[in-house]
Structure 1
Amino acid sequence: MTYAIETRALTKRYGRHTALDGMDLAVETGSVFGVIGPNGAGKTTAMRLLLDIIRPTSGDATVLGESPRAGGAALRRRIGFLPGELMLEGRVTGRALLKHYADISGSVPEGRIDELAERLGLDLSRHVRTLSKGNKQKLGLVQAFMHEPALLVLDEPTSGLDPLVQQEFLSMVREAQNRGQTVFLSSHVLSEIQSAADQVAVLRRGRVVKVGDVATLRASAVRRVVIEFTDVSADRIRTALGALPQLDHLAVVDGEVVHVTGTVEGHINSLVKAIAPFHVVDLRVEEQDLESSVITFYSSEAGDEN
């Protein structure tokens, strides 16, 4: 088995603040690997270390078989990078800027830039300084993907994009994987990682608290449920649902329509069986934001709050 990225006890400190604390990761070549966590978890720091933008305090990393520091410009030409805080300014057009990046990154297949721009709905004739945040993000995606690098490092890649463009981005990721490229991306949006990644690392406070496949992540996530019943008393509903061990924060409001809210950890099969005998007029299962669901679960599992 070959790895596009390997880190061993990778650590970055700024004075007394530890931005990344002993990260151990192994990202298989040709895979899509997601890193998730709230802002400040260490996602961006990890990516900057892999690209030699900043240097580690301790530990080491290997990217495409080389040390980021020793690999230099030749290694970076094999990587497509989209930073989380994309700063694009200037009086040049998007096309001119991409030509400049192509001269740096190396060979770009003929027609590739126009193909990507059309897929993302990007007008390359407009000056960069006039573009909205979303269109600048599209421009950043084109420059990362256009030379078909061996490794794509994408920090919050869908920030500022509308849902249709986000779906097109996910298609681009799948196509890159089919070509044998490796994709390493970060996000705080759980659904985005679930749609794109094979493996996931959960970061909190600079530490990796869990690494696993997407199926495991999905099964352990916490969801908010909202249910409405008619033709039944609140007491009967409270009795039926109160015994479910995975249902937490249960609230039952009596009335002509009995309104129930709560959170469910993991699979909802037991909940569905429990409500089946009653007249359900509405059922919503809502994925919570990452920090209040997956991060909370993994943190307690890893003793992060001790």
Structure 2
Amino acid sequence: MLCGCTATIGNPSSSGSNPSVSPYLSSALSKGGPQRIDVALGQPILVENLSGLRQFAGKDINFNDFSGLLGYSTEVGYVMVISGIVATDALDAQAGEILLIPAYGTQPSVERYDAQYFADSKYAEKVSGLKRLSQALDEVVAKQRSGIFWGRLRRTAFNVTAPGSADHELARRSVVGSDIVHDIRFSGISDADQIEEVTVEKFRQAMVAGDEKVVAALLSPAVFGETDIRGGASKAREMLAEHIINKENWKTVLANGRFQRTQVPNVWSMKTSHGRVFLKTEPVNDFTYVNDIYREKRR
């Protein structure tokens, strides 16, 4: 994105939901400090008058009388400021600007967003019912309109909620859009070895719990389409997860202990009372998935 341009805020799916209005974020804030703002992928929330230190997209963010939109695409977490200020990593975003936070703890950036485009979208329907917020948005629209008239700003087709295209975003969601993969990618962890370690442990926990949804999400998508597993491919992945869980009594075998990295790349092992268990991982695009899990055959 070029400096001085405005980014659009739009929905990659015509069936997408409107942002929820949550003045105090009572349902979105997790316990502990700094409190984490939990927002589901593709389901932005609209908030008013938020102040204080919060964690979002793996970053500690200072909100100062903030009103605006918080959400995620598969590539970035975004904080769209209608009024107030947000600050993180020596950056601050003010009214008319959007804080973009890429996955894996990558350095955030601040850009302008297209306030008129937002005002004309379904996202703004809830804003119109909030007088103070509606007035603040009108002010941003007026300032940007002046900037465009005088040539200081120009519009772009870049859409933070669907980088590339709507279809590309939906395809990406089929691969990295699960809650577990999304949470790991936006945990703030940047080290690839740590990401792999977290994935392996989350997979072990899911196997013990018999959680087919999480196991499926962490299985390598390579054999199912790699970049797009919508439809039948996703169902096949879920069926494989069910088969793997039911193949062994993993609840007992994996209940105690953790997998340890071996000297062989992407191979982990765990010594149990039922024999040694091996787990293989596989990097696919920007995430490391589980490729296989099996018990060592007794001689």
Under TM normalisation by the shorter chain, which class is it? under 0.3
Whose radius of gyration is greater, 1 or 2?
A: 1
Which one scores higher on RCO, CA 8 angstroms, separation ≥ 6?
1
Q: Structure 1 length as normaliser, TM-score?
A: 0.24
Higher fraction of helix:
1
